Amino acid sequence: MKIVVLDGHVANPGDLSWDSLASLGELTVYPRTAPGEVLERCAGATAVFTNKVVLDAAIIASLPDLKFIGVLATGYNNVDTAAAAQAGIAVCNVPAYSSDSVAQTVFSLLLEITNRTGEYSSEVRSGRWSLCPDFSFTLGPITELAGLTMGIYGLGNIGKRVAAIASALGMNVVSPTSQEAAALPPYVTKVNFDEFLAMSDVMSLNAPLTASNRGKFNAETFARMKRGVIFINTARGPLVDEAALADALRSGQVGAAGLDVLGQEPPASDNPLLTAPHCYITPHIAWQSTAARRRLLDVTASNLAAFISGRPQNKVN
């Protein structure tokens, strides 16, 4: 069996092993693959793995030997799952491998916004504390999270971890989830979307990108939020109208934003969020802890082994 990994560098830059996958067939791992290289590299492959390389209907139709597509991620919007299903190709993702790591990043962004730790450390190193006449100095207000309301959009594996941490910090937790209220943890209150917008002091996006929620957070929804809301997105960039968010940051309607994802990655140099005030951006690293990436590779190999045995797991189409 010929197995191809199209963009393996980010998931495994060399500190982990591909041996479990290699044991299942003839494995070729490419660090990166440009769009024009996909067909040549996948020719004759039975199994292809992609993290972010797009496998659309035209590409799928041009690969008659392909039987399995593995996604080196939880989100699979870069694969035309319907076209794959029509061609009899299983598409399997890796759910829940990064839940703890992404939830941790939500709060690393939030705490940087509320406590300004990096800024304080920089000021101390510059000598400002040494020159201060008092034992303490301040750069501005520090926000206590206890008693604030955390609104979570997307109450899946990651959203539930965010909810648990928020509750442990003394926050009230609300979510416009489609799940039944009786099935939710006792510290999560189900609300409708309008209530979610109006009640949240901090808002965390943890939902997958779908056709129905693309651009859902836009000028109209930002205007309906609490003034000064802290907005965190570790889900998918296209959930957000970035120009509208930049405007909301400049006007103060959104007090601060912590973003690990953008609509275009890497961003164009003229992305308005790069110059927006109180906007903290990390380069899509929430999933990248060593522990999470190790789980990712373990489940990746397990997915293909299960498919070979005739018992596919984590199939999304």
| Residue 24 CB contacts under 8 Å (≥ 6 apart), including other chains | 1, 3, 47, 301, 304, 305, 308
Catalytic residue check, 41 = no
Q: Quote the strand ranges of 24-67, DSSP E.
A: 26-29, 47-50
Give the Cα separation of 263 and 190 in Å (integer): 29
Query: Which pair of structure tokens corresponds to residue 48?
Result: 């292809």
Backbone angles phi, psi at 274, to 5 degrees: -70, -20
Q: Which of 236, 242, 293, 295 is catalytic?
A: 236
Is 284 noted as a catalytic residue in this protein?
yes
| Distance separating alpha carbons of residues 317 and 306, to the nearest angstrom | 16
CA atoms within 13 Å, Cβ hemisphere of 218: 6
Give the C-alpha distances (Å, rounded to integers) separating 295 from 104, 105, 215, 307: 16, 17, 31, 18
Q: Which is the catalytic residue, given 41, 214, 278, 284? A: 284
Spatial contact of 76 and 91, defined as CB atoms under 8 Å apart: yes
263 close to 242: Cβ distance less than 8 angstroms:
yes
Closest CA to 283 of 105, 72, 85: 105
d(CA 60, CA 39): 9
Phi, psi (degrees; rounded to nearest 5) at 87: -90, 0
Residues 26, 119, 144, 265: which is the catalytic one? 265
Is 32 marked active-site? no
Strand partners, 103: none
Q: Point out the residues that are catalytic.
A: 236, 265, 284
